[in-house]
Amino acid sequence: MIAIAQRWPKPDRRTLIRGVTAGSAWGITMATALLGLAFHQCGTICLGQIVETTAMSLAAGMLTIGPIALLRREA
């Protein structure tokens, strides 16, 4: 009920760029961490694994962290 009662900010260009930037930064960080873990476990990383992991992390970041960044309130 609280989520329904909150007002969403009107998405202007600056707000959307902030959401995409925050989601992309989170996605790149997670992709780097996951690829580092895969390299540590297997000793090698395939190109397909790099592309797949990075694409999934970027999509997840933009869909989860992006909306959270959109809700940032200014003083």
Q: What are the pLDDT digits (tens) for 18-68? A: 888 988 999 999 999 999 998 898 888 888 888 999 999 999 998 888 888
| pLDDT bracket for residue 73 (50, 70, 90) | low
Long-range contacts of 50-55 (CB under 8 A, 24+ apart): 54/27, 54/28
Single-letter amino acid, residue 13 = R
| pLDDT bracket for residue 14 (50, 70, 90) | confident
